[in-house]
């Protein structure tokens, strides 16, 4: 089976890291294909960037011309999963939900350790909508930006471990979820230091996607995620003049 693993930002090295993590856990017959959006932020750390990535991921996935069996949306707390589900017949698994769902099989409560404080409410909102928040004891920010996870792995690791320890001792978490696609691959080391299971979203999502395909289950098409109605959509598929980089702040 072939699973598309879609990075939500435009940083190729993150796609590589995510794909590596996905492959290390995929079953023998599973082919993992990394998808990087054509446009959008180099890292998603807020609502504007996340909404832009929602469309950029839909653009990238629908432009992929080979057949595939499932999609993993590899951004923690990002928007857009429901849109992809409408556009596709194969299952779509979001890593935020996959990780939370997996954590709930391992302990009474789990905490998420993520990047910046500003993404905490995005993640809380995603978990609430997904109905996976009842056993979430906290979402904690390590203070490390997404791109710092790559450049300063050691410092990032320590910052994550510090928050994970607080989550266990103060918030009564029994399981830790790594709340960023860019943290792929750190779970085992962190688990050894903190003494509780540490769940990686990409690995969880790939495992769930594989299982759904094996069970021949896909998105229900009776209501919320039915294919879009036949109608005029101006400018779609997106047809850019160029996708040159710009620098925020906009203006």
Piece in contact with its own copies (CB under 8 A), picked from 75-83, 149-157, 159-167, 178-186: 75-83
Within 8 A by CB and 6+ apart from 103, the residues are: 110, 175, 176, 177, 197, 199
Q: Are strands 175-178 and 31-35 parallel, antiparallel or unpaired?
A: unpaired
The H or E element spanning position 93 is strand 92-94
Rounded distance, CA 125 to CA 151, Å?
A: 29
The H or E element spanning position 2 is strand 2-6
Please name the residue that has the structure tokens 């980089």.
245
Least spacing, CB of residue 205 vs its own copies, in Å: 9
175-204 mask for its own copies (x: CB under 8 A)? x------------x------xxx-xx--xx
Rounded distance, CA 101 to CA 110, Å?
A: 10
* Stretch 48-67 residues interacting with its own copies (CB under 8 A): 48-52, 54-55, 58, 62
Piece in contact with its own copies (CB under 8 A), picked from 12-20, 152-160, 177-185, 216-224: 216-224
Which C-beta is closer to its own copies: that of 17 or that of 102?
102
* Stretch 10-49 residues interacting with its own copies (CB under 8 A): 10, 25, 27, 37-43, 45-49
**Cα–Cα distances in Å, from 236 out to 89, 165, 233, 239, 241?**
19, 47, 6, 7, 14
Q: Which of 8, 18, 72, 93 binds its own copies (CB under 8 A)?
A: 93
Q: Which of 118, 151, 170, 192 binds its own copies (CB under 8 A)?
A: 118
Q: Which of 66, 67, 89, 222 binds its own copies (CB under 8 A)?
A: 222
- Residue 106 as a binder of its own copies (CB under 8 A): the answer is yes
Rounded distance, CA 17 to CA 159, Å?
A: 20
Q: Which of 66, 67, 89, 105 binds its own copies (CB under 8 A)?
A: 105
Piece in contact with its own copies (CB under 8 A), picked from 12-20, 117-125, 153-161, 177-185: 117-125
């Amino acid at each position: 089976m072939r699973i598309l693993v879609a990075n939500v930002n435009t940083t190729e090295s993150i796609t590589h890291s995510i794909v590596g993590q996905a492959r290390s856990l995929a079953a023998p017959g599973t082919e993992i294909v990394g998808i990087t959006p054509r446009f959008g932020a180099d890292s998603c750390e807020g609502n504007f960037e996340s909404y832009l990535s929602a469309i950029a991921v839909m653009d990238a996935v629908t432009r992929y011309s080979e057949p595939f069996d499932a999609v993993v949306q590899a951004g923690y707390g990002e928007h857009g999963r429901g849109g992809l589900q409408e556009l596709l017949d194969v299952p779509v698994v979001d890593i935020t939900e996959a990780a939370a769902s997996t954590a709930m099989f391992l302990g009474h409560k789990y905490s998420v350790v993520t990047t910046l404080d500003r993404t905490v409410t995005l993640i809380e909102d995603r978990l609430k909508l997904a109905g996976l928040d009842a056993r979430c004891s906290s979402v904690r920010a390590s203070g490390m930006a997404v791109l710092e996870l790559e450049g300063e792995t050691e410092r990032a690791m320590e910052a994550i471990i510090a928050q994970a320890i607080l989550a266990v001792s103060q918030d009564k978490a029994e399981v830790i979820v790594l709340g960023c696609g860019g943290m792929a691959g750190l779970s085992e080391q962190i688990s050894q230091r903190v003494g509780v299971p540490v769940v990686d979203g990409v690995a969880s999502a790939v495992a769930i996607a594989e299982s759904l395909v094996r069970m021949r289950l896909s998105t229900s098409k009776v209501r919320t995620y039915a294919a879009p109605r036949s109608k005029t959509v101006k400018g779609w598929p997106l047809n850019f003049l160029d996708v040159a980089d710009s620098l925020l702040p906009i203006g």
